[in-house]
Structures are given as C-alpha cells and as structure tokens.
Amino acid sequence: MKKQRIGAAVLAGVMLLGLAGCGNKKVEAFKKYVTLGQYTGIEYTKTVEEVSDEDVQSRLDSFVQQHKEKEEVKDRAVEDGDIVNIDFVGTMNGEEFEGGTSQGYDLTIGSHSFIDGFEDGLIGHKIGEEVSLDLKFPDPYQNDPDKSGKDVNFKVTINTISVEKVPELTDELVKDNTDYKTVDEYRKSIRKEIQENNETTADQQAKSEVFNKVVENCKITGYDEEEAKKLIDDEFERFKQMADSYAAYGYSYEQVLSLNGYDSEDKLKEGIKEYIKNYLEQKMVLYCIADKEKIKVTDEEIEEKVKEYMEKNSIKDRAEVDEQLGEDYFETYLLSEKVIDFLMKNAVQVESTEETTEAETEADEAAEEKTEADQAAEEKTEADQAAEEKTEAEEADQAAEEKTEADQDTGKNESEDSDAETSDAEDAEDSEGEKAAE
C-alpha cells in the first residue's frame, strides 16, 4: 500500500486537492480575514540536485529486475529464496476456515507473506511432497483478530520449485524492451530523464518556498468556520473511504492510520483540521493577490481543462466532475498557476546558503590541507638539516677517533724506538764492563 500522508496543501506546486473551490464572489469575504504583506521581491533559492552514476545504475538495475524470468528446478529440495507453487488447506480444530485454502499459489520463500513457520517449514522438501505444518497465528493478528494466538494446521503440496534468473544488461535486452537500441543510448536517456525530474523538483521547491513566504508575510485573522467544518468532515469521510478500500487487501483501519503517520483517529482529526486551516489560508491569500493584480481565469480556459480531465478519465457527464472535484476546482487550479507564475517573475533568486557554506568549507579544508602540507614540508626540511648536522657530527667524531688511533700508534712507535735505544746502550755498557774485567 502506498503511503498517503495527510499534510498541508501546497499551492506552489499547482497541485490543489479536490476540495471545493470558491468563486471570485467570495474575495470580499476573504479580505475580511487577510491583510496582504510583501509578495513581490521575495528571495528564494534553487538547487538542482546533480545526477550521480549511482542514480543511473539504480534505474538500470530496476530495469533488469523487471525482466527477470522464472526457471523451474527439478533436481533438489526447496531452498530459501525459491518460488514454490503450492496447494494448501488450512484447518482450525479440524475445520477448514475462510481464506485458509488455495491452489496453484506462487509463494516466495523468505518473503514473510505467510505466518511464521509456514515458509521455513517447506525448506528441505521436494516436489510432490505433502507437508503438514502445525502453527500458531500471531498474537495480535491484525488481519483477523479472532484468530489471534490460535492453533492452525496447514497441509501443503509442493507442485513446482522455481528460481528467478536476472538477465544480463545487453543491447538486445534494451532493444527488445525500450525505444533505444543500445545500453549506452538507454543510459544517456535515463540520465537526461533524471536531470529533467531534478530540475522540475527544484522548480516546485522554489515555488513552494516563495508562496510559503508570501503567506507568512500576510496577516491572517481567521477563516470561514462553517466552510472549514464542511471541508474537515468531507476530508475525514474521504479518508474513511480510502481505509475501506484497503480493507480488501487485508489492511485494518489501525494499519491505514499508522501508514499515514497517525497512531489514533483523534490524531488523524487533528491532522485534517491543521491541513484544512493551511489550505484555507493559502487559498484566501491566492485569491486576494489575484484580485489586487487583476489576474483572472476565463470560462474558455476552465472548459478546456474540464474537457481534458473528462477525456483522460473517460467521464461523459460534467456533473460527475463537479461531484468529484467541486464546482470551482479548475478555476482555483488555473488561478493558482497564474498567481504562482506572477510571484516567481517578481521574486529574486539568491545563492543557496547551503551551497555557500559547502564552498567555504571546501576552501577552508583546502587551505588547511595546504597548511598541513607546508608544515610537513617545513618539518621535513628541519629533519633533513638535523640529519645533515648529525652526519657531520658523526664524521667529525670518526675523524677524531681516527686521529686518536693515529696518535696512539705514533706513541707506541716512539716507545718502541726508545726501548730499543735503551737496550742497545745497556748492551754496550755490559760489553765494556766485560772488557775491563779481563
């Protein structure tokens, strides 16, 4: 179920909801509640998101997934992720119950489509087997509160086992399923489409920003309480009808509330009341600006839009359109387009603060990185100088050491020469003594 949260209406996107409009005859009544503030020269920013390679690849991946095919497997048992075609019969206290029986049902194992234990209970079983599963309904069981926590048995017959084969992204696949002939052509078209969507989104956001500022600049003292009550009641009834339509898909009223962001009906009513208040304030401002600037919608323009709507939705009776959307819907729709166009032509686009901040941050980071690089270079230079000085000191120490060793060698030689001379003198004296004795 697609989430459909009720929130403030935004006229800036010219996407007015199907609430009853109000003709120009009520402009005077609106002026009683609205004092226009500044609505020209409004500053706004417009930032178009860049298209990333990841965005394009995600679209290509989705395209490939859309064309995956099932391939039957016959030589093994059921595994997680398989698609099994099954017949099953559910019983409670031996009795079959409504919604508990089906034939030829395709179930993806691991999808958690059934209550806990059902899918896991089929893993390991083969084609043709009948599997008996004794399980319990969850408590609470929102799909059927009466079954909450109760025992249930399912007898399941496995008819087939299949796996999904994802095709390779090729020129042939693209040619057979798109208006393009090659993967490269298709990739470029996707990038262009995303870019156009991003530009449209940026335009709508800019329009919304301008119109919201215009409304904020106005002094609004109230609105028609009787009209507001009718619109609130209509919107609440519309929500209940939507909830009833989803009941056929197994969604409870509480689930529909939750999916729309509300934990109770009281919170829903508060949300609708705020929604209608914003809608009426925006609508009154819209008509007051149109009146002041003489902006009008012709009957021909309205009829052309009505005709387009009827053809698109295969409606033949104009009264059916008025019943669905309200008599003045297209007047309000077309008027909003013209007023918003007027406001945007008289608005001023300014540079995004976020973009400026990011640019400044990048510049600061670049400067910081440069400073760190310069500091590292300086430290490297100092380290080189220190290393050079250390080398010179080591060389000086080595030279001194070599000198010391040389001095020591010189002293040793001199000592040896002195000893030799002393020995020679002593030998000479002994020889003369020996001669005297003789």
Boundary-marking domain end, from 138, 165, 192: 165
Beta strands in 170-283 (DSSP E): 219-220
238 lies in some domain? yes
Please tell me the predicted confidence (pLDDT) of residue 392: 55
pLDDT at 361 over 50: yes
**DSSP E strands, 113-218:** 130-136, 151-165
253 torsion bin: left (phi>0), alpha (psi -120 to 50), beta (else):
alpha
207 within domain boundaries: no
Same domain, 78 and 35: no
Query: Per-residue pLDDT tens for 206-236?
Result: 999 999 999 999 999 999 999 999 999 999 9
Last residue of a domain, one of 315, 345, 375: 345
| 235 and 331 belong to one structural domain | yes
pLDDT at residue 359 above 90? no
- Indicate whether 73 and 124 sit together in one domain: yes
Q: Does any domain span residue 150? A: yes
From its phi and psi, is residue 92 left (phi > 0), alpha (psi between -120 and 50) or beta?
Answer: beta
The strand pairing partners of 413, in sequence order, are: none
Asked if residue 101 has pLDDT above 60, the reply is yes
pLDDT at 374: 62
CATH label of the domain that carries residue 161: 3.10.50.40
Q: What is the pLDDT of residue 379?
A: 60
pLDDT-based confidence at 357, cuts 50/70/90? low
Task: State which residues form the domain around 103.
Answer: 69-165
CA distance 256 to 243: 6
Residues 243 and 154 in one domain: no
Taking only the tens place, the pLDDT of each residue in 285-319 is 999 999 999 999 999 999 999 999 999 999 999 99
pLDDT of 372 over the 90 cut: no
- Counting residues of the chain whose pLDDT is more than 90, the rounded percentage is 67
User: What value, to the nearest 5°, has the Cα angle with vertex 294 and ends 289 and 298?
Assistant: 110
279 against 370, higher pLDDT: 279
For the chain, what is the domain count? 2
Q: Are residues 35 and 95 in the same domain?
A: no
2 is a domain residue: no
Do 157 and 129 form a contact (C-beta atoms < 8 A)? yes
* Same-domain status, 232 and 331: yes
pLDDT at 160 over 50: yes
Do 146 and 97 belong together in one domain?
yes
Say what the pLDDT of residue 378 is. 61
CA 8/CA 104 separation, integer angstroms: 46
